[in-house]
Amino acid sequence: MLGPEVRRPEVRPPESSPAGSPAASPPGLILSPFRAVRYTTRDRSVLARLTSPAYDLIDPDGREVLERTDPHNVVRLILPRADLDGGHDRYWQAARTLAAWRAGGVLAADAEPGLYVYEMVDGSTSTRGLVGAVGLADPAAGIILPHEDTMPGPVADRLALTEATRANFEPIVLVYDGGGAAAELVHGSVSDPPLISMTGADGVLHRIWPVVDAGTIGRVAADLTEQTAVIADGHHRYASYLQQQRRRHADGAGPGPWDRGLAYLVATGAHGPQVHAIHRILSGLPLARALAAAGTVMSVRPVSVSADGAEGLLAAQPRTSFLLTDGRSWHLLTDPDPGAVRRTVDGRRSEAWRALDVTIAHHLLIRSVWQIADDETGVSFGHDVASTMAAVSRGGTALLLRPTPAESVLAVARNREQMPRKSTLFVPKPRNGLLLRTYAEEL
């Protein structure tokens, strides 16, 4: 278990909600069974060609590769292209593609609703959890807690896709303390033959088992209702879930599938996810200027390292540290000036939040020292050193960070605080296309 176990105070929704008002939060953490829509093929090699990484890990070149891999690759749903000939936008095109694939038998819904045990094996480590339809709860209810900020652009994009397709194509990832019936189910199912088994291009093995027994699902529900979950991955998608739910209820639609969203629930511990760093790319900032300004608030020294050794060097540092590079020269930043930190980092926040490397990076360096707009135009991201170096080779400066410990992520979330956007990369991620959720099966 990471950090102290937290049990929420009882949250009771009102008996009824006026038409047009936002939906009340559920009485606790609810993971409902659903009829998954899946590719009809069972061939492992074919499934590998049909699925994709998470949408925010696919760059333009990767998108084209996936499109060429198979005409039915799920990237055509999660990152659709506009119908230029017909004058339709890309969200309309995704809905049309989904309907065509279902009509043609490429995709089909399971016969009965269930939860799905999902295991990912990466070398000697495995991550196991449950996929279901999670009951949506406003963060103020203390049931599902975010730990990162969001930006309006990605939220609007995912909301438009969901509203056009009436579907969830990839699950958000939730972590919780674990124990109890849900964890017993997850760890007791993996000896049975799986419903789905395939290996992605990255070498990660994905295996899925359905759970349809009503008694088992009931025990899982009773176990989870008092738990608190933290969003590990999918903050923008969860925000889009909530926005759609509010729109539907404001329109008088009442309860429906928009009150739930596709989620992968994982307990921390031996089979929980790992946390990697997400690096910053400052394309408009020359390295010389970055170093001169950073030297006024941190210790800066050149180091002899390569891209292959960058993460190891950072991991060896005991306290807040960064690497600045343009891909040719490398510089280690350490020991932020305490006075400068006090002036730029919100003193009303908890010590756990103020001590985060990513807090220092965004508030002291990016916003204050370099005076760069901390938005989608000023800062972009690299999910590993290789992609970060590829981006910075076109100009600018890369700021490489250490991973945020999982304990710190949970502590910040439980303090009802949020880290800067793209602070954490929980890995491995579920493979897109293995389990889809559509509203048609729940209406």
Report pLDDT for 249. 95
Q: How far is CA 127 from CA 58, 60, 265, 409, in A?
A: 22, 29, 11, 18
- Smallest Cα–Cα separation from 37: which of 133, 161, 130? 133
- Smallest Cα–Cα separation from 260: which of 167, 142, 183, 157? 167
Report pLDDT for 375. 84
Same domain, 311 and 185: no
Element at 325 (helix H, strand E): strand 321-325
Q: Does the pLDDT at position 216 exceed 90?
A: yes
Same domain, 133 and 253: yes
Same domain, 205 and 108: yes
Q: Does the pLDDT at position 13 exceed 50?
A: no
pTM of the predicted structure, to 2 decimals: 0.80
pLDDT tens per residue across span 330-363? 999 999 999 999 999 988 888 888 989 999 999 9
Same domain, 175 and 313: no
Within a domain: residue 104? yes
pLDDT tens per residue across span 415-432? 888 888 888 888 888 999
Same domain, 159 and 264: yes
Report pLDDT for 270. 66
Same domain, 62 and 191: yes
Pairing mode, strands 260-267 and 172-176: parallel
Query: CA 305, CA 290: separation in Å to the nearest integer?
Result: 19
Report pLDDT for 114. 97
Same domain, 266 and 123: yes
**3-class state of residue 430 by DSSP:** coil
Query: CA 304, CA 328: separation in Å to the nearest integer?
Result: 10
Within a domain: residue 352? yes
For residue 3 the two structure tokens come to 């950090």
| Range of the structural domain that residue 184 is part of | 31-274+428-441
Same domain, 129 and 243: yes
98 and 167 Cβ atoms separated by less than 8 Å: yes
The share of the chain scoring above pLDDT 70, in percent, equals: 95
- Smallest Cα–Cα separation from 10: which of 123, 202, 142, 184? 142
Interior angle at CA 372, CA 239 and CA 301, nearest 5 = 115
Query: CA 359, CA 147: separation in Å to the nearest integer?
Result: 12
Query: CA 177, CA 184: separation in Å to the nearest integer?
Result: 13
User: What single letter denotes the amino acid at residue 243?
Assistant: Q
Q: How far is CA 212 from CA 19, 113, 115, 116, 429, in A?
A: 34, 7, 7, 9, 24
Within a domain: residue 11? no
User: What single letter denotes the amino acid at residue 240?
Assistant: S
Q: Which of the residue ranges 146-150, 197-201, 399-403 would you say has the lowest mean pLDDT?
A: 146-150
Same domain, 387 and 240: no
Radius of gyration in angstroms for the set of CA atoms belonging to the chain, rounded to a whole number? 22
Same domain, 174 and 214: yes
Report pLDDT for 5. 37
Query: CA 116, CA 285: separation in Å to the nearest integer?
Result: 46
Query: CA 217, CA 99: separation in Å to the nearest integer?
Result: 30
Report pLDDT for 192. 83
For residue 173 the two structure tokens come to 């990832």
Which residues are registered as beta bridge partners of 275? Answer: 426
Within a domain: residue 25? no
Report pLDDT for 397. 98
Report pLDDT for 406. 78
Same domain, 62 and 119: yes
The helices-and-strands tally (H runs, E runs) of the chain is 15, 21
- Nearest 5°: phi and psi at 21? -90, 160
Report pLDDT for 86. 81
Cis peptide before 428 (omega within 30 of 0): yes
Same domain, 168 and 247: yes
What is the C-alpha end-to-end distance of the chain, expressed in Å?
Answer: 38
The share of the chain scoring above pLDDT 90, in percent, equals: 73
Within a domain: residue 434? yes
Within a domain: residue 245? yes
Query: CA 74, CA 156: separation in Å to the nearest integer?
Result: 20
Q: Does the pLDDT at position 12 exceed 50?
A: no
Return the C-alpha torsion angle 263, 267, 269, 271, nearest 10. Answer: -60
pLDDT tens per residue across span 354-400? 989 999 999 999 999 999 998 888 999 999 999 999 999 999 999 99
On average, the pLDDT of the chain sits at 90
In the chain, the number of structural domains is 2
Calculate mean pLDDT across residues 178-187: 88
For residue 88 the two structure tokens come to 């339709």
pLDDT tens per residue across span 35-63? 999 999 999 999 999 999 999 889 899 99
Calculate mean pLDDT across residues 162-188: 92
Report pLDDT for 336. 96
